[in-house]
Amino acid sequence: MGSVRLLPGREKSLLRRHPWVFAGAIDQVKGSPTDGETVEVLDSRGNFLAWGAYSPASQIRVRVWSWLREDQIGADFFLQHLGAAIQARQGLLMERETNALRLVHAESDGLPGVIVDRYADTLVVQFLSSGAERWREEIADALLQLTDARCIYERSDAEVRRLENLPERCGPLRGDAPPRQITILENGLRFLVDVYQGHKTGHYLDQRNNRRIVRAMAQGRHILDCFCYSGGFLVNALAGGAASVTAIDASQDALELARQNLLLNQLSLANVDLQQADVFQALRGFRDRALRFDLIVLDPPKFAPTASHIAQAARGYKDINLLAFKLLRPGGILVTFSCSAGVDASLFQKIVAGAALDAGVEAQILYWLFQAEDHPVGLAFPEGAYLKGLVIRVK
């Protein structure tokens, strides 16, 4: 088995249980470890620190599997740790209210690069790192043993795999292929999930609680839902008694799925305006026409996939929030999100505050919003807190 020895002083993050070892922290690699192979991580004096998966193509050169020297990384290890992650979800409130939730959340569950989402009796998995890829078959076998899933479908098509020099892979992994669309229950509402080509693994499970909050604020309001995708916020707004909803997305397929989800919940389309458009351009058009709304939801895609994109992302977030502030009536509510891990909560608040200042409005934060509880954040892994949101009232 190969080993990785760190430069002097570079073990501090590992001693705090952060699971990443960057290439620049490594002094020496012994042996010839291949993609995903388990290596021993040592400090500069040769003392054991952790077992991790080696990734020669990535700047994150090692991702930690275990801090215990006695652990053996193999099928039994994954059976135990997957079981612990699944067990941790049992008893949570949402586990009793929905048949769709995240069962394994990568680093925050001690399983770097492993994502497992449950949609009814189908599991959708992603293997996003070299280590996860190497143990793909053992992980799939363990998931069948630990759950009552009828089938497992793989969606290893996220862009992050390119950083690991891994090809995209999608298709049935265990059992028969699931139906193209699966009906799930969430907060008393039903949604169709496209597990084959839908965003992420098919549905934004992390926004479950935030959709419920929008539903509670929707009564009698005229609402603008930007980047609406399959209608998660749209359906909740109408179920909450919204007077009207204008929903915008660049994808006609997403808008069609949103329309189907409205019909699935027996919600009238009479006061719904589904628009296929670039959101930035649409908002500028609304501004020029002096349109106003009572509540606006901004749930854009990731603007900063890596740290090098933070400045560009900040400009995008400021522009879109500035436009939204200009479209709100006095007393209106802005529900705004960032899912860019490189933009932390403090920076996001500063960006939105700058947008309000440039828009000439005074505003107050009513709530901070985060990802749902089945997407936990390891205390030693702040990067896991990728979704952050603000509920803001304009004076």
Which residues are catalytically annotated?
339
Place of tokens 């009238």: 268
**Alpha-carbon distances, residue 144 vs 87, 148, 233 (angstroms):** 14, 7, 33
Enter the tokens of residue 316: 């995008």
| Contact status, residue 208 vs residue 194, Cβ threshold 8 Å | no
**Alpha-carbon distances, residue 331 vs 217, 322, 389 (angstroms):** 13, 16, 19
Instruction: Decide the pairing of beta strands 122-127 and 151-156.
Output: parallel
* Cβ count within 10 A of residue 395: 9
Strand ranges, E, within the chain: 3-6, 20-22, 26-30, 38-42, 48-54, 60-66, 100-105, 114-119, 122-127, 151-156, 169-174, 181-186, 189-194, 222-226, 244-249, 272-276, 293-298, 328-338, 363-370, 388-394
Identify the bridge partners of residue 363 per DSSP, sorted by sequence position. 394
Enter the tokens of residue 33: 């470890």
Among candidate residues 86, 79, 49, 74, the one with its CA nearest the CA of residue 64: 49
Q: Which residues of 112-144 are buried (b: 16+ CB within 10 A; e: fewer)?
A: bbbbbbbbbebbbbbbbbbbbbbbbebbbebbb
Backbone angles phi, psi at 87, to 5 degrees: -60, -35
Cα separation, 96 vs 163, in Å, equals: 37
Specify the length of the chain in residues. Answer: 395
* Cβ count within 10 A of residue 165: 12
Vertex 369, ends 368 and 375: CA angle to 5°?
140
